[in-house]
């Protein structure tokens, strides 16, 4: 239809009967396409998990498996039961029915990654590997790549850093309901040697100007040194900052609540603004699935001494939420904003920001455009949805304090809640 001549209708071809094309809005798709340009996977992590996690096995060699959508009801801090959508891992019995957030995927840089995925329950789904750069068919962006019944995603990571994965089909609803997890790219030898299942580990950084962090290796990424432009860390903390609007859960429990309605000609006269949509007002707040136990307007701490189990961390034991470390130990804090409102993170000690949105600052080929920097104690750093940063802490004196996370409404920047995350260095 023309804007200047509304009586003129441009003919459009209906998409009915072409579900095998694997694109747009099939409801649900049943196609199980082959992975284009299939390359044999070389990811060693599934075999490592199978050898070190009692409930784990390997169904497909060198391949991570994910199923979605699992409907999980979780009890909030005040006793209210709230619906979540989750990813499960069929190769690990203890997390096969899904976790919030989803189990963390760790991948060595340079391996051929395969991620077998299946929509365990309708509606159609994808997995988007946020920040990774695969081919379009493997990028998992709904409406642009494909929506699937079953598929094996394939890609090869080139940059060490903090990423995440999520369903990108009915993104507004499915992401908010919990269909996401962390994706960490590590050095090529991360799963070799005596510390493969624990710490210390290494991450990408350029610390030429920060001599307080021992063990930094510079060099040229074109060399064969797997540790070039990396630094070791002794403690790792994961902060996935999230908010929940429980009204969405009550009024949009159907996973198709945000879908367009197919009318007489699917793909031609669909209605995109039918059904439920609700002004977003969160009333529960989390860090890595751990609640901040207080109502809107509160200033409350999360539980201390929380450690993420190895079955939720690709077999690695000891990843923390609240920080517990010794003096003169290097702590890596990985932060993801999974909230739909804004967040402000403030540390009680100086930290060095070494990466943003998955890319290490000052590390080639981007060294000319950015650099790591010191974030002084008490100085907030702001994040919006899907933004990430990596921070290093190393203190020569004891610390018994809290980092704070302020959740601020996306309309008007009004205060919602201040969560406190314990940081103990002794």
For residue 203, pLDDT over 60 is answered with: yes
Note whether residue 202 is domain-resident.
Answer: no
CA distances from 183 to 132, 296, 369 (A): 10, 30, 25
Q: Please state which of the ranges 197-201, 268-272, 418-422 shows the lowest mean pLDDT.
A: 268-272
Residues 179 and 291 in one domain: no
Q: Are 114 and 154 in contact (CB under 8 A)?
A: yes
**Residue 297 neighbours by CB under 8 Å, 6+ apart:** 415, 416, 417
**How far apart, in whole angstroms, are the C-alpha atoms of residue 328 and residue 365?**
31
Residues 35 and 161 in one domain: yes
The pTM is what? 0.92
Note whether residue 215 is domain-resident.
Answer: no
**Residue 242 neighbours by CB under 8 Å, 6+ apart:** 101, 285, 286, 287, 338, 339
The SS3 of residue 325 is: strand
pLDDT tens track for 383-401:
999 999 999 999 999 999 9
Residues 300 and 346 in one domain: yes
DSSP letter at 129 equals E
Note whether residue 269 is domain-resident.
Answer: no
pLDDT tens track for 123-169:
778 899 999 999 888 998 876 667 777 889 999 999 999 999 999 88
Residues 49 and 126 in one domain: yes
Instruction: Please indicate whether residue 69 or residue 421 has the higher confidence score (pLDDT).
Output: 421
Res 418: pLDDT:
98
Over residues 205-217, the mean pLDDT reads 97
Number of domains present in the structure of the chain: 2
Residues 249 and 324 in one domain: yes
User: Residue 146 is encoded by which pair of tokens?
Assistant: 């494909």
Give the H/E segment covering residue 243.
Answer: strand 235-244
**How far apart, in whole angstroms, are the C-alpha atoms of residue 131 and residue 356?**
11
For residue 267, pLDDT over 70 is answered with: no
Of the three residues 147, 174, 196, the one that is the final residue of a domain is 196
Say which CATH number the domain at 154 has: 2.60.40.420
Residues 55 and 129 in one domain: yes
Q: Are 313 and 319 in contact (CB under 8 A)?
A: yes
Confidence of residue 16 (pLDDT cuts 50, 70, 90): low
**How far apart, in whole angstroms, are the C-alpha atoms of residue 278 and residue 72?**
22
Q: What is the domain extent for residue 28? A: 19-196
Quickly tell me which residue has 């998990």 as its tokens.
49
Residues 165 and 291 in one domain: no
DSSP letter at 96 equals T
Residues 188 and 300 in one domain: no
Note whether residue 34 is domain-resident.
Answer: yes
pLDDT tens track for 29-62:
666 778 889 999 999 999 999 999 999 999 999 9
Residues 186 and 331 in one domain: no
CA nearest neighbour of 399 among 365, 335, 360, 351 = 351
Residues 191 and 129 in one domain: yes
**How far apart, in whole angstroms, are the C-alpha atoms of residue 119 and residue 263?**
25
For residue 2, pLDDT over 50 is answered with: no
Res 12: pLDDT:
59
**How far apart, in whole angstroms, are the C-alpha atoms of residue 103 and residue 240?**
12
Q: Which residue stretches of 206-276 are H helix?
A: 246-251
For residue 426, pLDDT over 70 is answered with: yes
Q: Mind spelling out the 3-state secondary structure of 30-92?
A: CCCCCCCCCCCCCCCHHHHHHHHCCCECCCCCCEEEEEEEEEEEEECCCCCEEEEEEEECCCE
For residue 274, pLDDT over 60 is answered with: no
Of the three residues 196, 223, 242, the one that is the final residue of a domain is 196
pLDDT tens track for 55-111:
999 999 999 999 998 999 999 999 999 999 999 999 999 999 999 999 999 999 999
Note whether residue 324 is domain-resident.
Answer: yes
Note whether residue 4 is domain-resident.
Answer: no
Over residues 235-240, the mean pLDDT reads 98
Residues 170 and 298 in one domain: no
Confidence of residue 1 (pLDDT cuts 50, 70, 90): very low
CA nearest neighbour of 125 among 73, 82, 86, 164 = 86
Confidence of residue 372 (pLDDT cuts 50, 70, 90): very high
Note whether residue 223 is domain-resident.
Answer: no
**How far apart, in whole angstroms, are the C-alpha atoms of residue 254 and residue 394?**
47
Confidence of residue 256 (pLDDT cuts 50, 70, 90): confident
The SS3 of residue 420 is: strand
């Amino acid at each position: 239809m023309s804007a200047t001549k509304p009586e003129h209708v441009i003919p459009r071809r209906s998409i009915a009967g072409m579900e095998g094309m694997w694109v747009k809005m099939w409801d649900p798709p049943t196609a199980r396409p082959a992975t284009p340009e299939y390359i044999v996977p070389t990811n060693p992590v599934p075999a490592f998990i199978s050898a070190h996690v009692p409930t784990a096995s390997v169904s497909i060699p060198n391949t991570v498996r994910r199923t979605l959508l699992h409907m999980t009801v979780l009890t909030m801090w005040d006793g209210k039961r709230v619906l979540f959508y989750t990813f499960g891992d069929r190769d690990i019995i203890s997390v096969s029915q899904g976790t919030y957030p989803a189990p963390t995927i760790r991948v060595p840089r340079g391996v051929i990654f395969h991620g077998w995925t299946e929509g365990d329950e309708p509606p159609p789904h994808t997995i988007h590997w946020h920040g990774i750069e695969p081919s379009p068919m493997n990028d998992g962006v709904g409406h642009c790549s494909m929506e699937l019944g079953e598929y094996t995603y394939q890609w090869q990571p080139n940059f060490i850093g903090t990423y995440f994965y999520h369903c990108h089909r009915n993104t507004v609803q499915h992401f908010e309901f919990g269909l996401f997890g962390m994706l960490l790219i590590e050095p090529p030898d991360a799963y070799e040697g005596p510390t493969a299942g624990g710490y210390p580990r290494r991450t990408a950084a350029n610390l030429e100007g920060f001599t307080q962090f021992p063990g930094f290796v510079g060099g040229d990424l074109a060399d064969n040194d797997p540790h070039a432009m990396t630094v070791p860390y002794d403690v790792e903390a994961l902060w996935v900052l999230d908010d929940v609007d429980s009204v969405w859960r009550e009024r949009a429990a159907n996973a198709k609540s945000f879908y367009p309605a197919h009318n007489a000609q699917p793909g031609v006269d669909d209605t995109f603004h039918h059904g439920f949509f609700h002004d977003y007002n969160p009333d529960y707040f989390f860090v890595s699935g751990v609640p901040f136990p207080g109502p809107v307007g509160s200033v409350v701490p999360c539980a201390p001494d929380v450690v993420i189990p190895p079955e939720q961390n690709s077999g690695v034991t000891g990843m923390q939420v609240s920080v517990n470390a010794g003096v003169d130990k290097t702590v890596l804090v990985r932060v993801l904003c999974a909230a739909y409102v804004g967040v402000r993170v403030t540390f009680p000690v100086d930290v060095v920001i070494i990466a943003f949105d998955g890319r290490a600052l000052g590390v080639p080929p981007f060294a000319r455009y950015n650099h790591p920097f010191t974030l002084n104690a008490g100085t907030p750093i702001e994040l919006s949805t899907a933004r990430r940063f990596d921070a290093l802490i190393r203190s020569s004196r004891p610390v018994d304090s809290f980092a704070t996370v302020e959740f601020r409404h996306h309309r008007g920047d009004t205060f919602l809640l201040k969560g406190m995350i314990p940081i103990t260095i002794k």
